[in-house]
Each structure stands twice: as structure tokens, then as C-alpha cells.
């Protein structure tokens, strides 16, 4: 309803319908896999090892694949991401913030709560397939981002990139991988929500999200430029922000798994930094191009308050991450 009724553009009904159909279809797929698990095992306690119930390994692997597919669509990762840019592009600012900050994390929670407890995760072939899908998604999306002209879709594809990296950490059978993935998803909830809010701030004032219309915002919107720079630095994983902790843990744990995977992940992070600095310089610190930009105001008091809340969490988690891990365990 937040997409189809309060959306911002003409194709909002199609985007809402696509989002609804995809979500329901793969939720039904997850439900059916749980029904099959119940008929074979006799219960739905997935944290009990299937070997204790003498479950057939081939059936176990098939159920695991179905569970993984249903959750990867909800994250989402490439090539199951087709519904997310449209949903974000047509949703209102509040809808995009809820979608990025809450709903996408359901996929990660589902993997953590259900899929990881099946013993098929220890299979080398399963781990290789998941790493291939997640790394491909992380690399492909950063190149897609470089071609975006819509500011909101750029942030949406950035979400796909970060969630793909987080999904990779969930499947790495080491403790730091799980810690890094959970921390990255928590951080993404704050960073992505703040970025979508600031895209909405621009849209409220200019009625457009096309990047070509914005330049030199720092000249007449200094508060906006300050907070936007902070959130974009957090998005690229600058040390001192919450985005750095999760990415560092994932790079560290990937080093012990595969040097090739580490190289691919490093390339993804490097290009993320490239497009972040490029767009930040283009939007805020390049010479302004239109005299009409003077007609619009900086952040209001309400917008400053919300930005300060997001900035506080991002900086606090970046400086004191050990508190998060202490309460998590």
C-alpha cells in the first residue's frame, strides 16, 4: 500500500504488484519446504541435526536449496534482485526506509534462523555455489551502479551490493563471518535508511531524482551536504563509521577461505569507494550549474533531528562495536 497508494511516480501500481507477487510466491515456496520437512522428520525444529532423524542427504540438500532460494530473493542478491529497484524507485520515502531498514533483513534472518541449521551447509559444493552467487552479485551490482542516473535507484542497487556481501558472510563457516554479516546488516539498516531519507529531501524540494539536475549543493545546503557526506562515507565503509566494522570482518574472514574470493570482494569494496566519492563530489562539491537552485532551503529542524539520530547510531557503532558483540552473545 505504501508503494501503490503513496508512491511517487506513474508506475507505482505495477511496482507494488510486482513486489507483492514476488514476496508471496517465494514465501509460499518457503512454507511448502517447511511442510515437506515436517512430513519427513515429524517436526519443524530445524536446529536439530537431520542425521539424528536419519534424513536422506539428497532430500536434505534439495530442501536447503529451496530455503536458500526463497531467502536470497528477499535479501535480494543478483539475479533475484529485479523487484527491488522498481519497488524503491516507486515507493515513498517512508516506504523505502522501511523496505531497506527492516524488510530486507528478513532474508538474512531467515538464512540465519533456518537455512544454516541444516547440515547441507557443511557441504563444499553448497558453499561454493553460495560464494559464487554472492560474489557475482557484489561485483555485478557495483558496475550497474556506475550506470545509474536515478539517485534513488543508485541507493537501491547499493543495498543489493551490501546485502550480497552480508549473505556471503552468513555462509562462511567461521565465527567472524557470522559476526561481520550480522553487523553489516545492522549497519546497512541505519546507513541505507538515512540515504533514502536524504534522497527524499531532495525530491521534496526539486521534484526530481535525476543526478544530472544536481550540482554544488554544498554552496547553499551546507547542513544537507555535511550529513549526506557522513552517510555516504559510512556507505563506503570509512573507518570510524559502522560500515567499516562489518566490511573489515568479512574481508578478514574471507582471507582464510579463498584468496580469489578475497580479491573479488576487495574489488567490490574498492569500486564502492570510487562511485561514492565520484557521486559525492558531483552532487555537493562541484560548481553549481543553475541559478534556480538558490530558491530552495537547507534542512528543516525536523530533518536535522532525524539526521542526528541516524548519525549517532552510525558513529557509535563504528567507534564502540564491541558493545554490539557483547550484547549479541
Query: Quick count: other Cβ atoms within 10 Å of Cβ 294?
Result: 9
Most confident of 17-21, 60-64, 66-70, 313-317: 313-317
Under 8 Å CB-to-CB from 320, ≥6 apart: which residues?
Answer: none
- The three-class DSSP label of residue 150 is strand
**pLDDT exceeding 70 applies to what percent of the chain?**
89
Phi (first) and psi of residue 163, to 5 degrees? -70, -30
pLDDT at 304: 94
pLDDT at 325: 79
Query: Quick count: other Cβ atoms within 10 Å of Cβ 9?
Result: 10
Confidence of residue 294 (pLDDT cuts 50, 70, 90): low
Single out the residue of 207, 225, 228, 203 nearest to residue 216, CA to CA: 225
Which pLDDT tens digit goes with each residue over 297-315?
888 899 999 999 999 999 9
Which pLDDT tens digit goes with each residue over 109-149?
888 887 776 655 556 677 788 888 888 988 899 888 888 88
Which pLDDT tens digit goes with each residue over 74-105?
888 888 888 888 888 788 888 888 888 888 88
- Cβ burial of 171 (10 Å; 0-12, 13-18, 19+) is buried
Contact of 196 with 155, CB cutoff 8 Å: yes
Under 8 Å CB-to-CB from 215, ≥6 apart: which residues?
Answer: 282, 283, 286, 287, 288, 289, 290
Mean pLDDT, residues 239-268: 87
Computed on alpha carbons and rounded to an integer, the radius of gyration of the chain in Å comes to: 21
pLDDT at 123: 62
Contact of 147 with 271, CB cutoff 8 Å: no
- Helix 175-206 to helix 105-113 angle, to the nearest 10 degrees? 160
Mean pLDDT, residues 24-34: 86
Above 70 in pLDDT, residue 58?
no
pLDDT at 229: 92
Above 70 in pLDDT, residue 329?
no
More confident residue, 152 or 57: 152
Above 70 in pLDDT, residue 56?
no
Which pLDDT tens digit goes with each residue over 200-243?
998 888 888 888 888 888 888 889 999 999 999 999 889 999 98
* pTM given for the model: 0.89
| Residue-wise DSSP of 27-94 | HHHHHHHHHHHHHHHSS--TTS-GGGGT--HHHHHHHHHHHHHHHHHHTT-TTS-THHHHHHHHS-HH
Amino acid at each position: 500500500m505504501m508503494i501503490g497508494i503513496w508512491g511517487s511516480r506513474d508506475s507505482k501500481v505495477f511496482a507494488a504488484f510486482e513486489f507483492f507477487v514476488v514476496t508471496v510466491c517465494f514465501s509460499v515456496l518457503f512454507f511448502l519446504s517447511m511442510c515437506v520437512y515436517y512430513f519427513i522428520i515429524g517436526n519443524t525444529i530445524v536446529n536439530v541435526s537431520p542425521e539424528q532423524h536419519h534424513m536422506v542427504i539428497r532430500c536434505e540438500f534439495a530442501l536447503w536449496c529451496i530455503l536458500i532460494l526463497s531467502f536470497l530473493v528477499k535479501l535480494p542478491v543478483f539475479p533475484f534482485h529485479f523487484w527491488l529497484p522498481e519497488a524503491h524507485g516507486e515507493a515513498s520515502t517512508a516506504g523505502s526506509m522501511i523496505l531497506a531498514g527492516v524488510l530486507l533483513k528478513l532474508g538474512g534472518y531467515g538464512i540465519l534462523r533456518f537455512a544454516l541449521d541444516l547440515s547441507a551447509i557443511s557441504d563444499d559444493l553448497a558453499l561454493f555455489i553460495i560464494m559464487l552467487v554472492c560474489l557475482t552479485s557484489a561485483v555485478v551490482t557495483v558496475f550497474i551502479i556506475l550506470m545509474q542516473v536515478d539517485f534513488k535507484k543508485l541507493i537501491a542497487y547499493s543495498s543489493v551490493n551490501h546485502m550480497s556481501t552480508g549473505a556471503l558472510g552468513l555462509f562462511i563457516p567461521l565465527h567472524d563471518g557470522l559476526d561481520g554479516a550480522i553487523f553489516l546488516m545492522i549497519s546497512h539498516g541505519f546507513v541505507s535508511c538515512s540515504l533514502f531519507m536524504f534522497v527524499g529531501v531532495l525530491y521534496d524540494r526539486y521534484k526530481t531524482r535525476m543526478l544530472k539536475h544536481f550540482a554544488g549543493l554544498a554552496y547553499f545546503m551546507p547542513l544537507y551536504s555535511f550529513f549526506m557526506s557522513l552517510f555516504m562515507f559510512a556507505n563506503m565503509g570509512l573507518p570510524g563509521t559502522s560500515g567499516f566494522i562489518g566490511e573489515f570482518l568479512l574481508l578478514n574472514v574471507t582471507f582464510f577461505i579463498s584468496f580469489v574470493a578475497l580479491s573479488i570482494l576487495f574489488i567490490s569494496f574498492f569500486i564502492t569507494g570510487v562511485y561514492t566519492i565520484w557521486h559525492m563530489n558531483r552532487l555537493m562539491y562541484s560548481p553549481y550549474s543553475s541559478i534556480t537552485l538558490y530558491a530552495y532551503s537547507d534542512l528543516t529542524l525536523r530533518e536535522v533531528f532525524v539526521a542526528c539520530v541516524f548519525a549517532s547510531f552510525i558513529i557509535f557503532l563504528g567507534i564502540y562495536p564491541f558493545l554490539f558483540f557483547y550484547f549479541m552473545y
